[in-house]
Amino acid sequence: DQQVKQNSPSLSVQEGRISILNCDYTNSMFDYFLWYKKYPAEGPTFLISISSIKDKNEDGRFTVFLNKSAKHLSLHIVPSQPGDSAVYFCAASALQGAQKLVFGQGTRLTINP
Amino acid sequence: DSGVTQTPKHLITATGQRVTLRCSPRSGDLSVYWYQQSLDQGLQFLIQYYNGEERAKGNILERFSAQQFPDLHSELNLSSLELGDSALYFCASSVALPSPGANVLTFGAGSRLTVL
């Protein structure tokens, strides 16, 4: 049962344009969402998060949007840079299961010069 | 360097064998988590320890076991290995027990296990 889904395995974007990565979840108990970024041969690194009491959180070029009614979140990167090329994982946690994060399958983002 | 150290980086072994993966958490972190990433899959939560005690368990097979030692390092033991156990195994750590809204984990670079 895949509770967190990233339906796009890969995404290719031109440098300077906007990258939009999407994530859907099924568990209505999830109340905290995170995005992690992973380069080859490295572990995932935390990028940005959002609580379910908000619908938007911004950090520099990165903005995460949360649509609770649709159980959908997205990560916007503007403008996209070559160094943003990586695998992006969406993750979620629930109040009662705060010890564990449930991850999506990841989306490989490639920024083309 | 995230501060979370995992050894070995790569391990090749045969079916039926047993291996031990080691993790040293970031300095000051009391919680250690183990995740498995199989090919083209997301990270699957295996188990979590906090200050030496098991706190949460995910889809960890009975052939797998883990522990956290007094110096806070952790080991993941995988036995009777099968081809399907080939995966990246990540360790992560956090300062304390995560509370809602504070589940930021710091990951190590992973141990790649290949079972032939």
Asked if B56 and A97 come within 8 Å (Cβ–Cβ), the reply is: yes
Name the residue of chain B whose CA is nearest to A88's CA. Answer: B42
Using the Cβ of A10 and the Cβ atoms of chain B, whether some distance falls under 8 Å is answered with: no
The answer to whether residue B103 scores a pLDDT higher than 80 is no
| Paired tokens of A78 | 């503007």
CB atoms within 10 A of CB A88: 23
Percent helix, strand, coil in chain B, to 5, is 5, 50, 45
Enumerate long-range contacts of B41-47, CB under 8 Å, 24 or more apart. B41/A105, B42/A2, B42/A4, B42/A6, B42/A89, B42/A103, B42/A104, B42/A105, B42/A106, B43/A44, B43/A89, B43/A91, B43/A101, B43/A103, B43/B90, B44/A103, B45/A100, B45/A101, B45/A102, B45/A103, B46/B76, B47/B76
Instruction: Give B104's pLDDT tier (boundaries 50, 70, 90).
Output: confident
Are B61 and B79 within 8 A, CB to CB?
no
Mean pLDDT score of chain A: 93
Two tokens, residue B48: 């979590």
**How large a percentage of chain A has pLDDT more than 70?**
95
pLDDT-derived band at A96, boundaries 50, 70, 90: low
Give the best residue of A10, A96, A99, A105 to mutate against chain B (max B CB count within 10 A). Answer: A99
> In the structure encoding, which two tokens stand for residue B75, read together?
């080991």
Is a pLDDT exceeding 70 seen at residue A1?
no
Q: What is the pLDDT of residue B41?
A: 78
Cβ contacts (< 8 Å) between A36 and chain B: which residues? 107
Element (H, E) at A67: strand A62-67
Q: Examine the pLDDT at A31 and tell me if it is beyond 90.
A: no
pLDDT digits (tens, 9 = 90+) for A56-93: 999 999 999 999 999 999 999 999 999 999 999 999 98
Residues 6 or more apart whose CB falls under 8 angstroms from that of B102 comprise none
In sequence order, what are the beta bridge partners of A8?
none
Q: HSE on the CB side for A71, CA within 13 Å?
A: 12
How buried is A3 (Cβ within 10 angstroms: 0-12 exposed, 13-18 middle, 19+ buried)? middle
Predicted confidence at residue A101, as pLDDT, reads: 85
Does residue A43 have a pLDDT over 60? yes
**Mean pLDDT, rounded, for B88-99:** 83
pLDDT at B97: 64
